[in-house]
Chain A
């Protein structure tokens, strides 16, 4: 049980770190660049979802 708490904590730190970096980088992007990044991020998460779905997770 303790190991899952540690995993959860690690994942939370990774996600918040990536979110912070993305927020910092995105400030310097143009509006079309932001839109393209949003579309690609959505597609990336959808494809990852499909990948794990296909693997029976």
Chain B
């Protein structure tokens, strides 16, 4: 092998290494366990993509995804788990509602989910206000609950802010207007 051919071989091998790095970025970025949450409140479906939980400000202490809901409406949750790996993903899922550090209700109790390689699984549940065992908030009051979704070592937190079913405005009392006395 001539010196020129050998130097070219080194260059090609270096380019192959570079292509390998790019391939790892693409393939490793695709592989893994991805969870997407769909929540419908007030007739609007909100999709929480897996990227949301990867953001630095979320990972560094910000407590979950905030969501507003009207008291009285059932809130359907759809949790989709996408297994992009070569082995079956089996995990226990637990969903509970918390308030002030106290567990209020368990919506899913250690349900085992098994997802085949390169397949998806969907878990559904509905949160109803009667599950919370609380009365409707009064006008101007916001009541907050934390929905904790545990998927093995992964934990997702949703902060639900409930506001009253119907806005009740305080009754207006007219200010008495002094009636001038008739002139004599």
Which residues of B lie under 8 Å from residue A16 when comparing CB positions?
Answer: none
Decide if A29 touches B29 in the complex (CB within 8 Å). Answer: yes
Interface string of A19-40 (1 = CB under 8 A from B): 0000001011110010011001
Closest-CB distance, B15 to chain A (whole angstroms): 8
Count A-side interface residues using an 8 Å CB cutoff.
Answer: 18
Closest to B21 in A: A40
* Residue in contact with B32 in the complex, picked from A30, A41, A44, A50, CB distance below 8 Å: A30
Which residues of A lie under 8 Å from residue B32 when comparing CB positions?
Answer: 30
Whether, in the assembled complex, B28 has its beta carbon less than 8 Å from a beta carbon of chain A, the answer is yes
Decide if B3 touches A54 in the complex (CB within 8 Å). Answer: yes
Whether, in the assembled complex, A14 has its beta carbon less than 8 Å from a beta carbon of chain B, the answer is no
Cα distance, A28 to B26, chains bound together (Å): 11
Closest to A43 in B: B17
Which residues of B lie under 8 Å from residue A44 when comparing CB positions?
Answer: 14, 17-18, 21
Whether, in the assembled complex, B76 has its beta carbon less than 8 Å from a beta carbon of chain A, the answer is no
Cα distance, A30 to B86, chains bound together (Å): 15
Decide if A51 touches B11 in the complex (CB within 8 Å). Answer: yes
Whether, in the assembled complex, B68 has its beta carbon less than 8 Å from a beta carbon of chain A, the answer is no
Which residues of A lie under 8 Å from residue B13 when comparing CB positions?
Answer: 43, 47
Decide if A50 touches B24 in the complex (CB within 8 Å). Answer: no
Whether, in the assembled complex, B20 has its beta carbon less than 8 Å from a beta carbon of chain A, the answer is yes
* Residue in contact with B17 in the complex, picked from A29, A47, A50, A54, CB distance below 8 Å: A47
Which residues of B lie under 8 Å from residue A55 when comparing CB positions?
Answer: 7
Closest-CB distance, B115 to chain A (whole angstroms): 18
Could you name 13 residue pairs across A and B whose Cβ atoms are closer than 8 Å?
A27-B54, A28-B54, A29-B24, A29-B25, A29-B28, A33-B28, A36-B24, A41-B21, A43-B13, A43-B17, A47-B13, A48-B14, A50-B7
